[in-house]
Structure 1
Amino acid sequence: MTTTEQPPVAPDAPAAPPTPAAPRRPRTSSRVAAAAGARRLRRGALSGLAGSRSGIAVVRGWLFALWRLVVPVARRVWVVVGPVVVVITPVGWLVLLFSGLSIALSAIFGWQEFTYLGTVLLASVALSTVFLFGRASYGVLVELNPRRVVVGDRAMGRMLVTNIGPRPLSPTRMELPVGKGVAEFQLPAMQPKEEHEELFAVPTNKRAVIVAGPAESVRGDQLGLLRRALKWADAVDLFVHPRTVRLLPTAAGLVRDLEGQVSKTITNNDIAFHALRPYVPGDDRRYVHWRTSARIGQLMVRQFNETRRSQLTMIHTSRNDLYASEEEFELAISVTASIAAQVIRDGVQMNVVSETGVWRTQSVTSMLDSSCRIDPVGKIFPTVREFARERTKRLPAPSVVMMIGGSRMTTAEYRSVESLFGQDTSQVAFHVELGAQPKIASVAGLTVITIGDLDDLSRLVRGISS
């Protein structure tokens, strides 16, 4: 048996006083109840949140299942009901509404007058269905002559209708949408293979793309309650080009030499000679200047100024707040189209951009067609500089930049666009102000041309190219 020896204790050593315990704050019954209540609230909130999330998930599942069930049924119902519903005009829906309201009032209050009114309205809709029956077999040809005109020129259209069916056709009405209007023609009864021709004039007092068609044969009652229309021909476009003036060749201020524009960039192989420099391993021996090398006893090679092919970029802003009137906007379009047409005829590479995109410039006709689609727009880009940067960043580096804006476009905005291009780029700004006196000014290296009449364009452009 092992015994553990205890250390001896000095008889005279005083005992250590006990450490006093910290006084405990008595917890009252109210505090205990409050803490328990808070715990219960937290547990209830968490459980409620979990329950609400699970409830939302269940509701979403039910809604998704209901949607997958309702959509196919609605589509099948619309296939059957749709052709019937679409023949009812807004006037027809209004008659049906009053008819149902009259019958309801008659059933509630027993008023015979409303019974009579509801019956008459329903009968009128029912009788209108008789005018919808019948088959039509038309061959319709819509032609515009010419397809492209200048603002103010006369444009005529022709609609040729042929009965291509084996049975005679009763008289009907043919509608042909032309721009924002609708031309109506009353077709007579037609025998098989019989033709009927209608001529119409197209208004061309404004630059636009006028869509003629598609032609529709219309069956319906004289009250306009029901209407059934069938399309017989595709739409045809009429391009109303802006008014332009003819400029002299090379009058657009571009370089006239065939090799291109000489820049200040130094290159090892080109046409425009610059200077001689010592030979460096890797240089092309074809450019060694042997006479100078033999005279000084060291190989010398030629250096050249880089020449660039002329590349024109025209920036046409079409923001409506930069123009004082619609006539001023049309003048700016005419200025841009006139210069672009002459540049294309000269065979110079070019691009024309506006807020809505890049114009087609493969030919003069395609460029003028693109100009017909340009309309005043809102503030698509924050600033004019941002617009020019965004629309030209994917285009080839230009040698000449032309900016066209309205009278409300400030010189600072022209200068902000100028800063996007290098110092080797020639830049011209056309400040279009309707009725202003023509003048040419230079603002910190930027040529600013003020033009108030399209007839002054040729003289002004000739002035900057001389």
Structure 2
Amino acid sequence: MTTHVAAPPAAAVEGTAAERAGDLLSRLGRRARSIASIARPITWVLLAAALGLWLGGLILGWRELVIAAVVITAVLALCTLFLIGRTAYEVTLDLNRTRVVVGERAIGALTLANGGSRAILPSRVVLPVGAGRGVFDVGRLAAGDSVEELFAIPTQKRGILQVGPVAVLRGDPLGLFERFHRRDAPVDLFVHPRTVLFDGQSLGFLRDLEGLPATDLSPDDVSFHALREYHPGDDLRHVHWKSTARTGTVMVRQYEETRRSHFVIALSRQPADYREPEEFELAISAAGSLGLRALRDSQRVEVRVQGRALPAGSGKQFLDSLSGLQHSSPREGSIVELAGVVGADLALASVVVLVCGSRTSAEQLRVACSRLPFGARVLAVVAETGATPSLRRIGEADVVTVGALDQLAGALRKVLA
């Protein structure tokens, strides 16, 4: 019996061949880019000059051009020899702290070890830090040896700095060729905003442990309001048996809903609300100080900015989120739209703090406060660098203006007086 095996379709064979050719070209392209990245811009200029001199010397028969071409070619060839060698360091990057406050220095250590059986020739190690970088010259490292380099990172601005990845750089003395080998994963350094501590409990806003009573009635809460007749579906646990026995009608308890200690911070990051970058930083520091105080008082804290909510489950998480905060785009709305989002999403907030800059008008604050949850205590903090602390009323809200972070605690004491 003869078995016939069907040949694959010609289209399938062509498709497979095309895919293989594409993969080959892709690998060749990556290898070419890797080789091209070794040469510095000046190297390409010298290569072009050498080629031109070779052609000119051979075509025109000028010995001087040929000699110049030989010299340049020899220099390029000698410089490539410096790329030869092992750079198999075992790299350890250690920061003593991954979270610092603006103005503090982050201290770190970079350890390079030779875990191989042969020596590693001298090289340079590049450590990127944010937009800058540090360069360390490492001498010849024998097998089994290690070297430690200490460094300090100044932090003049709030933000999240990426430290690393460490790159081992091999190159020539003339700087014509450079070869990088990345050796570790980057580490994030959080530069937190400055904050101040407050004395006292709960910022003085919530004096009732059970919360602030609202006008909404509820069948189940902690604030007793009145009795009413039983309706089908009511929870029998709330039947008031003494009144039922006295009146002959089943009576159930009715309660007032209460607003728990729900602390909300609405921080505007709209550039139009701030006169200068320092005001934005002051507003972030004020919001951070208020949020940390509320968290220490075991309140539930929610933080909203234009476009999103910031994590605030703990003080570290809250400050981390403030570290990376940037201005919003105009289409994400002003403080009025931000207040509208708070009013719609956090209707049971007990305290709402609006934080903005000096360019926010009184009318904007009035409209923003009108959109906040009904019955909530409202405080507005206006950051205006260099201003004298002041207190005013806009509608039902207390509005404090602070010109520096250390004025915040005194301004809040005036509100509570």
What band does the TM-score fall into relative to the shorter chain?
Answer: 0.7 to 0.9
Any idea what the Cα deviations from partners look like across 1:107-138, whole Å, max 9, x if unmatched? 77766655554444343322221111111221
CA distance in structure 1 between the partners assigned to 2:329 and 2:232 by the alignment? 58
CA contact (8 A) 1:251 1:462 kept: no
Would you say the 8 A contact 1:268–1:304 is kept in 2?
yes
Residues 264/85 of structure 1: CA separation in 2 closer, same or farther (3 Å cut): same
Which protein has the larger Cα radius of gyration, Structure 1 or Structure 2?
1
Partner residue in 1 for 2:302: 351
Cα distance in 1 for residues equivalent to 2:158 and 2:415: 29
d(CA) in 2 for partners of 1:410, 1:81: 59
CA distance in 2, matches of 1:151, 1:139: 32
Pair 1:373-2:324 in alignment: yes
Task: List per-residue Cα deviations over 1:9-37 (Å, max 9, x = no partner).
Answer: xxxxxxxxxxxxxxxxxxxxxxxxxxxxx
DSSP-derived class of the 1:328 partner: helix
Amino acid at match of 2:116: G
The match for 2:119 among 168, 172, 175 is 168
Q: Does 1:231 align with 2:185?
A: no
1:280-429 to 2 correspondences below 5 Å: 280-292=231-243, 298-355=249-306, 357-389=308-340, 397-429=348-380
Note the C-alpha offset of 1:343. Answer: 0.9
Helix, strand or coil for the counterpart of 2:373? coil
Q: Verify the 8 A CA contact 2:260 2:349 in the aligned structure 1.
A: no
Structure 1 stretch displaced more, 149-158 or 197-206: 149-158
Q: How does 1:46-125 map to 2 (within 5 A)?
A: 71-103=22-54, 115-125=66-76
TM-score between the two structures when normalised by the length of structure 2: 0.86
The letter for the 1-side match of 2:138 is L
Unmatched 5+ residue regions in structure 1?
A: 1-66
Where in structure 2 are the equivalents of 1:257-272 lying within 5 Å? 257-272=208-223
| Deviations, residues 48-79 of structure 1 (Å, cap 9, x unaligned) | xxxxxxxxxxxxxxxxxxx9798545303214
Compute the displacement of 1:231 (Å).
Answer: 1.4
Quote the Cα distance in structure 1 between the aligned partners of 2:311 and 2:116.
43
Which 5+ residue runs of structure 2 have no aligned equivalent? Answer: 1-17
Q: Does 1:152 align with 2:103?
A: yes
Deviations 1:68-95 (A, max 9, x none): 7985453032144233222112222232
Distance verdict in 2 for CA 1:155–1:383, change over 3 Å: closer
The 3 A distance-change label for structure 1 pair 409 and 69 is: farther
Of stretches 322-331 and 384-393 in structure 1, the one that deviates more from structure 2 is 384-393
Residue equivalent to 1:440:
391
User: C-alpha separation between the residues in 1 aligned to 2:65 and 2:336?
Assistant: 68
Report the AA paired with residue 76 of structure 1: R
RMSD, aligned CA: 3.0
TM score, norm. by length of structure 1: 0.78
**Deviation of the 1:227 alpha carbon:** 0.7
d(CA) in 2 for partners of 1:95, 1:137: 31
Task: Specify the SS of the correspondent of 2:38.
Answer: coil
Label 1:312 to 1:102 Cα distance change in 2 as closer, same or farther (>3 A).
farther
Counterpart in the other structure of 2:92 = 141
- Could you tell me whether the CA contact under 8 Å between 2:191 and 2:323 is conserved in 1? yes
Letter in 1 for 2:397: L
Shift in CA distance, 76/241, structure 1 to aligned 2, threshold 3 Å: closer
1:198: which partner in 2? 149
| Stretch of structure 1 that moved more, 202-211 or 381-390 | 381-390
Question: Does structure 2 conserve the Cα–Cα contact (< 8 Å) formed by 1:287 and 1:301?
Answer: yes
- The answer to whether the 8 Å contact 1:253/1:464 transfers is no
